[in-house]
Amino acid sequence: MRTRRLQWGIAAALAALIGTEAAAEPGPPARIVSIGGAVSEIVHALGFADRIVAVDSTSRHPDALAKKPNIGYMRRLSAEPIVALTPDLVLYDADFGPAVVLRQLAGAGIRLVRVPAEPTVAGIRTKVRTVAEALGVPKKGAALAVSLDRELKAASAYVALAGSRPRVMFILSTGRGVPLVGGRGTAADSIIRLAGGTNAVSGFKEYKPLAPEAAVAAAPDVLLVTRRSLEMVGGKAKLLAMPGLSSTPAAEAGRVVAMDGLLLLGFGLRTGEAISTLARALHPGLKPEALAR
């Protein structure tokens, strides 16, 4: 235990020294810890992937990020392994946790930049601007935002061709046999609306368990899940057989849409792709070629 404390003290002192030098001589960071899948995608797109010394477990795209040293899940991090990496910048998603770790990192003299996590189109622009400014490349950020806007506008025009707004229930998990679903104000709620759907669960905010009778009353036309959640429940057939879900229009029609979780809910640079992919699944009549017009 004494050895571990000594190692922690040495790492913290070294990080504090590096942080002091970085403050005295401002410039692009050389050693970046990037926390949050969307944040890391932006860092990569801005040309700083080679300066990333570690990422969290949600930073899986592109493949180059998945090969970086991993410090764990962004809501259950520890300060010690981050300090030991001697970063001169930690970019972190607003959902970072626990809060005590941020205080420890700040106490070690490490520069911390919080990246907002609002699940909206405007929120994505804010992410790009925040990361670009932190990296000292605001002009690159502005150019990236222009490209992003172009993709989002194309996706929006594509969704506008849809003639209906099916009721969609997003299921985050099915722990203990009760589905945890996305209500108002969630990333799931936002992406469903952007893709031309209606959130079937609007009676509450955030993510909450849904009783079988409430699932029946919600009457979703489509069940939306991440691929990982679908695998954990045992596949499409088992999901549709769950109490409550088995009596919905979605189960009767066998309509389950599974997508990569980061793509679907990350609200990063690939959100235009997420919108158009989900829109095609919700509106089978939409033709992919219409997106290229």
Note the pLDDT of residue 21: 38
Note the pLDDT of residue 288: 74
Note the pLDDT of residue 178: 86
What are the structural domains of the chain? 2-115 (3.40.50.1980), 163-292 (3.40.50.1980)
DSSP assignment of 30-88 equals SSEEEESHHHHHHHHHTT-GGGEEEE-TT---SHHHHTS-B---TTS--HHHHHHT--S
Note the pLDDT of residue 28: 86
Instruction: Give the predicted TM-score (pTM) of the model.
Output: 0.87
Note the pLDDT of residue 177: 76
Tokens of 127: 């992410």
Note the pLDDT of residue 289: 67
Q: Is 109 helix (H, G, I), strand (E, B) or coil?
A: coil
Q: Is 200 helix (H, G, I), strand (E, B) or coil?
A: coil
Per-residue pLDDT tens listing for the chain (293 residues): 444 444 445 444 444 444 443 344 457 899 999 999 999 999 999 999 999 999 999 999 999 999 999 999 999 999 999 999 999 999 999 999 899 999 999 999 999 999 999 999 999 999 999 999 999 999 999 999 999 999 999 999 999 999 899 999 999 998 777 899 999 999 999 999 999 999 999 999 999 999 999 999 999 999 999 999 999 999 999 999 999 999 999 999 999 999 999 999 999 999 999 999 999 999 998 877 666 55
Q: Which long-range contacts (CB under 8 A, 24 or more apart) does 177-180 make?
A: 177/242, 177/243, 178/209, 178/210, 178/211, 179/209, 179/210, 179/215, 179/242, 179/244, 179/245, 180/207, 180/208, 180/209, 180/210
Give every CB contact of residue 191 below 8 A, 6+ residues apart in sequence: 119, 264, 265, 267, 271, 274, 275, 278
